[in-house]
Amino acid sequence: MTGPTPASCIPLIIRDARVIVTCPGRNFVTLKIETDQGVYGIGDATLNGRELSVASYLTDHVVPVLIGRDAHRIEDIWQYLYRGAYWRRGPVTMTAIAAVDTALWDIKGKAAGLPLYQLLGGRSREGVLVYGHANGADIEHTVETVGRYREAGYRAIRAQSGVPGVKGAYGVGSGAGKIYEPADTALPQETLWSTPAYLRHAPKLFEAIRVAHGEEIELLHDVHHRLTPIEAARLGKALEEYRLFWMEDATPAENQEAFRLIRQHTTTPLAVGEIFNSIHDCRTLIQEQLIDFIRTTVVHAGGITHLRRIADLAGLYQVRTGSHGATDLSPVCMGAALHFDTWVPNFGIQEYMAHAPETDEVFPHDYRFEDGYLKVGDTPGHGVDIDESLATKYPYNPKQLPVARLEDGTLWNW
């Protein structure tokens, strides 16, 4: 039986794609894809501190092969950019692919008149549980900041505090929405790290938070790759009585097997994955159930199309999602992530740091915070746009992520 082709199946030919680099508070790279029917989509392509590499990868190598293709063919275009490039994986390539993929899902949603979560399989929950960042110069300050997040309605809070004697320890910087890692300096800032001081300090921080705020609030902590596996095991054990929701990036995870050792020693839940860009980075971690939460995100792990594959693998092993959502991921990534989170069956939690007001103005969006949850709107696509003329008012401003050194000068994991 044949009949007229439904409007939503008519090919949407890509006639233009361009990269927009802007710095409304911090640097963001956005890909905008336009079709011959006037429908357009946008995708986040921001790789903090390496922004221009992705911009060039897109402009020089991806945009030329997109023109003339049917924007509806998301899977085929994904495979074309991944397999077709021969050089697979890596943060630059996968961020570029993610930007295309996110923009194409946005276009498909707009063409169908449906919000993205509907295309993925519909709503699995009413709201997306998020955690905010309580950073403090010392324990007292962090305890106070946790209180402010509770008052604002957060049900889950990540707590970090300065470590006595360790100047510039990770995660302790300026307030909400501000840039807290990159600096305007020509060379990266050199920060100090002392594992013994940190290991003495961290359990005291969580003891003080539980005493002040009770048992109900969910607490998270980011170790930011700073420990060896046996040190991570020790910290996990020491934190067990404070019942963390998770301990994040306890040790670098290039060697996935390292987590076997941590896992043997502690029941503190483990989260990993913000710097992963492919399912192969987390295969062992997931299949051996060495982690509880996988933190890969839309922008750095190949877009919705690839993130879905990672989440499905994780689901087989009761590993839940917990996507990265720091302010260096643009509102475009956040919007797409929230649609994903609204659908994904094995959802865990979503990281959320409010963006600076000027960022929100450049990227108008329809998601909103309510009572500890983020909620997506029903705008077709992912619900985030870019104000291109406003974006031009904030030119690119090169910034550097810091590095860390031990007290004797040895370069360490940041």
The residues that are catalytic are 170, 224
- Residue 328 interacts with, from ligand CS2, Mg ion, none (CB under 5-8 Å by kind): ligand CS2
Rounded to 5 degrees, φ, ψ at 304 are -60, -40
Q: What is the number of residues in the chain? A: 414
Smallest distance, Å, CB 316 to Mg ion?
Answer: 25
Q: Which of 51, 274, 341, 385 binds ligand CS2 (CB under 6 A)?
A: 274
* 3-state secondary structure at position 70: strand
51 binds ligand CS2 (CB under 6 A): no
User: Per CB under 6 A, which of residues 204..243 are in contact with ligand CS2?
Assistant: 222, 224
The residue type found at 237 is: K
Interacting residues of 198 by C-beta distance below 8 A, sequence separation 6+: 163, 166, 169, 226
328 binds Mg ion (CB under 5 A): no
Residue window 171-190: x/- pattern of binding to ligand CS2, with contact defined by CB under 6 A: ----------x---------
Smallest distance, Å, CB 275 to ligand CS2?
Answer: 8
Q: Are 376 and 342 in contact (CB under 8 A)?
A: yes
Q: Which helix (H) or strand (E) holds 110?
A: helix 91-112
- Taken in order 284, 287, 292, 295, the sign of the CA dihedral is positive
- Residue 320 interacts with, from ligand CS2, Mg ion, none (CB under 5-8 Å by kind): none
Beta bridge partners of 157: 132, 219
Residue window 310-349: x/- pattern of binding to ligand CS2, with contact defined by CB under 6 A: --------------x-x-x---------------------
Q: Which of 30, 48, 145, 359 binds ligand CS2 (CB under 6 A)?
A: 48
State the Cα–Cα distance between residues 57 and 86, nearest whole angstrom: 14
- Residue 365 interacts with, from ligand CS2, Mg ion, none (CB under 5-8 Å by kind): none
Nearest to 129 by CA among 250, 30, 218: 218
292 binds ligand CS2 (CB under 6 A): no
Radius of gyration of the chain (CA): 21
What token pair was written down for 400?
């550097």
Smallest distance, Å, CB 324 to ligand CS2?
Answer: 6
Distances (CA, A) of 224 to 131, 171, 358, 413: 17, 9, 28, 8
351 binds ligand CS2 (CB under 6 A): yes
222 binds Mg ion (CB under 5 A): yes
351 binds Mg ion (CB under 5 A): no
Residues at the site binding Mg ion, with contacts judged by CB under 5 A? 222, 274
Residues at the site binding ligand CS2, with contacts judged by CB under 6 A? 48, 181, 222, 224, 274, 324, 326, 328, 351
